[in-house]
């Protein structure tokens, strides 16, 4: 498979779509990112690495970080996590309070904000310095010591994160947070403010395509069963309330972020990351989704 040629064809194919979406502006630090940016990187399990466009430029990974935080939580407490957060699609906005109130403080899944706050709480309780632990984890997975928190983005989110603070307070009121809401929110905002490139994200997601084992140096990040389950959660919950559309069009487990990134995996074959900041009505990268759809169409390969 000539993946480099495929990525270049995809880059050409999606160009007419620019200008049809909208950059996230409810987080002021993201509002100024040029909507015309596009990068894509693909890492095959046999060691091939391919990229196109702005694949080496770092951006705010936002909710894609929820997958890696989930990995860490599962590695610490295993299936006990599922006593505090569910595994079903929400069908509501990713920052909705309504469902959380109706279901007595148990978030529907770890890919919506309420569920990710519970995961952040687990990390705070398990690690002495959870923020540094998460940063070190991402540096290892991506094989890049240059991965950092964008403190400007983190501060912007903290200053405007009233809805997330309300979610954390509601979780605390139901006994589903061990730590104080402000501390949980601080960790959550920093994880969302991780700045990474498509190249780094494709490498970081490699273990999810490889049965839980990272790229060089080879290390078991998750068991085979855990990797399968994380992929399943991404498949059913990773694209907010557009997961059905993404499964229909793309057919890969994936996770998006409002910074315009989407990462996905074809188990047994490759991991891939794409970045284009203009979002659709669901908060997913409009061009990124089209690029991944074109990828599975051109290769004739998906999980279905």
What does pLDDT average to over the chain?
95
For residue 303, what are its two tokens? 């999980």
Which of 92-96, 144-148, 196-200, 241-245 shows the lowest mean pLDDT across its residues?
Answer: 92-96
pLDDT at 279 > cutoff 80: yes
For residue 148, what are its two tokens? 């950092």
pLDDT at 90 > cutoff 90: no
Does residue 152 fall inside a structural domain? yes
Q: What does the alpha-carbon distance between residue 292 and residue 202 come to, in Å, rounded to a whole number?
A: 13
Contact between 250 and 299 (Cβ < 8 Å):
no
Parallel/antiparallel/unpaired status of strands 261-266 and 270-275: antiparallel
Complete DSSP assignment for 47-86: S-EEEEESTTS-EE-GGGHHHHHHHHHHHHHGGGGGGTS-
Does residue 174 fall inside a structural domain? yes
Contact between 234 and 277 (Cβ < 8 Å):
no
Task: Name 45's bridge partners.
Answer: none
Does residue 304 fall inside a structural domain? no
Contact between 41 and 201 (Cβ < 8 Å):
yes
User: Tokens 């997958």 identify what position?
Assistant: 67
Catalytic sites, residue numbers: 63, 66, 188, 240, 258
Average pLDDT (136-164) is 94
pLDDT at 95 > cutoff 80: no
pLDDT at 92 > cutoff 90: no
For residue 249, what are its two tokens? 């069009």
Q: What does the alpha-carbon distance between residue 150 and residue 131 come to, in Å, rounded to a whole number?
A: 13
3-state secondary structure of 210: coil
Q: How confident is the model at residue 73 (pLDDT cuts 50, 70, 90)?
A: very high
pLDDT at 135 > cutoff 90: yes
What share of the chain in percent tops pLDDT 90?
A: 87
Counted domains in the chain:
1
Contact between 117 and 164 (Cβ < 8 Å):
yes
Query: 151-194, pLDDT tens digit by residue?
Result: 999 998 899 889 999 999 999 999 999 999 999 999 999 999 99
User: Is the Cα dihedral 87, 92, 95, 99 positive or negative?
Assistant: negative
pLDDT at 26 > cutoff 80: no
Range of the domain at 212: 3-299
For residue 161, what are its two tokens? 């994160």
Does residue 181 fall inside a structural domain? yes
Contact between 194 and 147 (Cβ < 8 Å):
yes
**What's the chain's Rg over C-alpha atoms?**
18
Average pLDDT (105-111) is 95
- Could you tell me the pTM of the whole model? 0.95
Burial of residue 298 (number of CB atoms within 10 Å: 0-12, 13-18, 19+): middle
Does residue 254 fall inside a structural domain? yes
Burial of residue 168 (number of CB atoms within 10 Å: 0-12, 13-18, 19+): buried
Does residue 293 fall inside a structural domain? yes
Angstrom CA distances, 201 to 70, 78, 302, 304, stand at 16, 24, 20, 24
Residue 276: CATH number of its domain: 3.40.710.10
Burial of residue 303 (number of CB atoms within 10 Å: 0-12, 13-18, 19+): middle
User: Is the Cα dihedral 287, 293, 298, 303 positive or negative?
Assistant: positive
Does residue 38 fall inside a structural domain? yes
For residue 237, what are its two tokens? 């919950």
Q: What is the pLDDT of residue 192?
A: 96
């Amino acid at each position: 498979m000539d993946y480099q040629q495929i990525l270049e064809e995809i880059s050409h194919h999606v160009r007419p779509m620019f200008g049809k979406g909208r950059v996230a502006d409810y987080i002021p630090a993201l509002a100024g990112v040029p909507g015309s940016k596009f990068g894509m990187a693909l890492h095959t399990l046999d060691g091939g690495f391919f990229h196109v466009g702005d694949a080496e430029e770092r951006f705010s990974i936002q909710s894609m970080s929820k997958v890696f935080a989930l990995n860490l939580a599962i590695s610490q407490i295993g299936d006990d996590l599922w006593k505090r957060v569910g595994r079903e699609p929400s069908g509501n906005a990713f920052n909705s309070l309504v469902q959380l109130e109706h279901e007595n403080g148990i978030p529907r899944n770890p890919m919506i904000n309420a569920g990710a706050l519970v995961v952040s709480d687990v990390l705070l309780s398990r690690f002495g310095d959870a923020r540094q632990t998460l940063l070190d984890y991402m540096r290892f997975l991506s094989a890049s010591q240059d991965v950092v928190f964008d403190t400007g983005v983190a501060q912007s989110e903290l200053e405007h994160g009233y809805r997330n603070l309300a979610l954390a307070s509601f979780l605390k009121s139901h006994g589903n947070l061990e730590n104080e809401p402000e501390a949980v929110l601080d960790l959550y905002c920093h994880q969302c403010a991780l700045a990474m490139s498509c190249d780094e994200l494709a490498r970081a997601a490699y273990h999810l395509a490889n049965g839980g084992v990272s790229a060089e140096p080879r290390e078991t990040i998750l068991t085979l069963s855990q990797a399968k389950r994380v992929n399943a959660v991404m498949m059913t919950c990773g694209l907010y309330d557009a997961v059905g559309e993404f499964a229909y069009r793309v057919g890969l487990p994936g996770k998006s972020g409002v910074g315009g990134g989407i990462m996905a995996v074809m188990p047994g074959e490759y991991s891939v990351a794409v970045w284009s900041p203009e979002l659709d009505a669901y908060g997913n990268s409009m061009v990124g989704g089209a690029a991944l759809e074109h990828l599975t169409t051109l290769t004739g390969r998906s999980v279905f």
